[in-house]
Chain A
Amino acid sequence: MELMQPLNEQQVIANLRQRDDASDRYYAAWWLGKMRSQHPEAVPLLLDTLSALSDEPVDEEDRGVAINAIRALGLLLNPAAHDPLMHMLGSKDYSVREEAARSLGAMKAKAAIPQLCQLLSGGPAAAGKEQVGASTLKEPCEALLEALGNIGVNNPDVVAVITPFSDHPRPLVRAAACRALLQLMKEQRWANELEQLLQHPEPLVRRGVLLDLGASGWTAALPAIENASVEASLKLVALRGLAEQSDDIKVLDVMDRLL
């Protein structure tokens, strides 16, 4: 490949198909998602990369390509990926379950709801349990909760699975639960919880909560977002979420003030 030459779609497809250079495949999987490729071979080739995840042992480079492919499938929104991604929720690999949940959430894949709920079953003490010697919980709870909120089916079973996580010891898990409950139930009390979390002393928590409020599409949170102690660039990202879901000119006025 020549240096500094921008890739075209045909080349990227060829790069994903070949098996010699893993870094070209890795970049190709990312590129197809980023560029929202509509090439007819994009989705089948991305799905092909997933088979490497069932090898014993899994090759590290192939795993990286597959995880990028899962993310790309979440951007391409092709329903042909629903079943394969749901299969990935059963993977032994935490990151694979996490990325599959995010992509299924982005695709609003209703069929994934029972499995997502299953992974969260047992609540904070089981799925949400801290793991000795690791920074992760037993399950990728934030991704699973966000997926249920994004898919947007409000029924008592789903709400019963999510609600206990609003008391999880980790603030970002609490925020993910409140965000999902706000999306599903559209009740101010969950926005209040998020606005309270937005006062958290840790900047990283405030940033995460701010994006959760934006993603919720809850316009009543507009003043809280505008006045949060977070940099303007991130407020604008959160407000983009709010504006695109609500079509409310008030959101654009606040964005104008933050430019």
Chain B
Amino acid sequence: MTASDLQKAVLALDRATMTSEIVQATQTLCGLRNLEAAPTLIKVLGFNNPAVGAVATQGLIALGRDVVPILLVSLDVGNYGARAWVIRAIATLRDPRGLDLLEHALNADIAPSVRRSATRGLAEMELEGPSFFKDFSRCSEALFKAAADDEWIVRYAAAFGLEQRFCQNSTDTGLRTQAIAHLEQLSSNSEAVKVVKQRAKLALQRLQAE
């Protein structure tokens, strides 16, 4: 691969006007598997075109965790569409450097789909190293908050997330007790949405079977 492949692909994208052309150019850019294409792919996320956004997000995810610092600095907070895709990419990469961003998105984002992606990310983030216990606790607290969200899909994601976060027995018992209490709440009649109850019951069964 040469630098000119990247330049050619960026130029093709600049010239594209129809959705099919933009998708094509974005796919070419993704196919280069080049970290230097990341800023352009992030710019594409702001086009507010779902077909294009999906392709660019897959391309960014395919670049692996090296792309996370680039995503964190290039995030356009004012663009809802772009923000949603970046949150999704960071959640999928499970990189603990995204913790601040996902925590903030869950607390403050008005779009339920963004809070849903952030919840999944906080559930699946791969924590390690000296800050493991502190980060584990932050993820857990965030999931407890998600369990009280107004939107059913965020509460559903919280039920899924609490199961993921606590499926290993070796974790903090105080937090685990709280997690079970939140799941019990979500599976009780105080929860209005049946599918949330169904998911919380499944999580409880799986956690208590261990």
Please list the residues of chain A having a beta carbon within 8 angstroms of any beta carbon in chain B: 36, 231-233, 236, 240, 243-244, 247, 249, 252, 255-256, 259
Contacts and interface: CB of A to CB of B under 8 A. Distances in A.
> On chain B, which size bracket covers the interface?
10 to 19
Nearest to B194: A244
Interface of B: 50, 112-113, 116-117, 119-120, 152-153, 156-157, 160, 192-195, 198-199, 202
A55 B160 CA distance: 53
Tell me what chain A mostly uses at the interface: helix, strand, loop, or mixed. Answer: helix
B198 A236 contact: no
Given A255-B156, A256-B160, A233 B113 contact: yes
A236 B199 CA distance: 13
B120 A247 contact: no
A243 B117 contact: no
A231 B50 contact: yes
A259 B198 contact: no
Contact of B116 (A243, A244, A259): A259
Tell me what chain B mostly uses at the interface: helix, strand, loop, or mixed. Answer: helix
Contacts of A252: 195, 198-199, 202
B50 A249 contact: no
Contacts of A247: 198
Contacts of A232: 113
Contacts of B112: 233
Given A233-B153, A249-B202, A252-B202, A259 B117 contact: yes
Contacts of A233: 112-113, 116, 153
Contacts of A255: 156, 195, 199
A187 to B, nearest CB: 26
A212 to B, nearest CB: 18
A247 B201 CA distance: 12
A240 B155 CA distance: 13
Contact of B195 (A231, A244, A259): A244
Contacts of B193: 240
B134 to A, nearest CB: 25
A236 B202 contact: no
Nearest to B157: A259
Given A252-B202, A259-B157, 11 more contacts: A36-B192, A231-B50, A232-B113, A233-B112, A233-B113, A233-B153, A243-B194, A243-B198, A255-B195, A259-B119, A259-B156
A159 to B, nearest CB: 29
A252 B152 CA distance: 14
Contacts of B50: 231
Nearest to A229: B51
Nearest to A244: B194
9 contacts: A233-B113, A233-B153, A236-B156, A240-B195, A243-B195, A244-B194, A252-B199, A255-B195, A259-B119
A236 B153 contact: yes
